[in-house]
Amino acid sequence: MAAVDAAITQARAEALKPTLIICKTTIGKGSPKPCRQRQGAWRGAGGDEIKLNREALGWPHEPFVIPEAAYAAWDGKRAGEASEAMVGRQAFAAYKAEHPALATELARRNERRPAGGFAQAAVDAAVAAPQRRPDGRQPQGQPDRARGFHRGRLPSCWADRPT
């Protein structure tokens, strides 16, 4: 584990280029009863073998039980420290209190919602579009009426379509 910690520390110190950490592992290493099949393929351990592996590792807990201390270390949060998401929400709330209109626009864009009135403007533009091609012919497959949305979408550019 010391080598892994040293590699992570070195990787975090390098700011100009990405770092790749490669760990060479052996599946089932340390197991008191190796579970290998032909050509070195790993075969899943059975119930008794799992129990022996837990004992060999000094893991007294039942399967799928994570002790609170191990979970806290894996979680990466220090006691009393807020998560990054919570800090971000608090920062956005402060920004929203200071700049409500800009915060509302930022939230709308982050949620990928169209601007207010966009749908009506799109319908108006489609209805106001010329009903005939520049050469005077009716577009192929289109009735002689005002075009609006077709199945919820704006009509494609009919001027480039062959008739």
> Is the pLDDT reported for residue 79 higher than 80?
no
> Is the pLDDT reported for residue 69 higher than 50?
yes
Q: What percent of the chain has pLDDT above 90?
A: 16
Q: Distance (Å, rounded) from C-alpha 97 to C-alpha 76?
A: 31
> Is the pLDDT reported for residue 144 higher than 50?
no
Inter-residue contact 32 to 53 (CB < 8 Å)? yes
> Is the pLDDT reported for residue 25 higher than 60?
yes
User: Binning pLDDT at 50, 70 and 90, where does residue 95 land?
Assistant: very high
Q: What is the pTM of this model?
A: 0.32
Inter-residue contact 28 to 42 (CB < 8 Å)? yes
Joined together, the tokens standing for residue 81 give 């420290």
> Is the pLDDT reported for residue 121 higher than 70?
yes
Task: Give the model's pLDDT for residue 32.
Answer: 73
* pLDDT single digits (tens) 7-23: 999 999 988 888 899 98
Task: Give the model's pLDDT for residue 146.
Answer: 47
More confident residue, 73 or 134: 73
User: Binning pLDDT at 50, 70 and 90, where does residue 120 land?
Assistant: confident
Inter-residue contact 154 to 147 (CB < 8 Å)? no
More confident residue, 60 or 74: 60
